[in-house]
Amino acid sequence: MKKSVYEYSAKDINGTEINLSQYKGKVLLIVNVASKCGFTPQYKGLEEIFEEYKGEVVVLGFPCNQFGAQEAGNAEEIKNFCSLTYDVKFPLFEKIDVNGANAHPLYEFLKEAKPGLLGTEGIKWNFTKFLVNKNGEVVKRYAPTDKPEDIKKELAQYL
């Protein structure tokens, strides 16, 4: 098994392969996102974290349509929604699966590194968040109900 998120890459929302090693030395908050979810307003708080800690904390959004078909749009629709509705500037990636046979390798790593409640690895819903320290190690997993404002209070210890 790989030891760090820096050993993975993913295609950004424009289809460009991004090696996550480009984020070495930064704290990452990796989130599976969706445009039509009850938790979608968390985009606002995630963007606030990204703006407030510019250069130190990077939010990485991974659209996913596996929960209630709440991210049915294509890349262009997702980009437009995020930009126009929440003025999202943090990096967005191509739509991926986070569970199942076609789960993205990054998410397989994240789930194994920080299992959820009672040791279950599967992602339960949109806006599950993983906090990664400056060394690329997964240090915490947050539930969809954990608000970005609450996570912000914990970020200082990782900067």
Q: For this structure, is 37 an active site residue?
A: yes
Residue type, 79: K
CB 56 within 8 A of CB 27: yes
| Radius of gyration (C-alpha) of the chain in whole angstroms | 14
Scan for tokens 């279950």, then name that residue. 120
Residue type, 159: L
Active-site annotation holder among 10, 37, 113, 132: 37
CA distances from 113 to 11, 15, 20, 149, 157 (A): 22, 27, 17, 24, 20
Which helix (DSSP H) or strand (DSSP E) does residue 148 occupy?
helix 148-155
What residues are annotated to the active site? Answer: 37
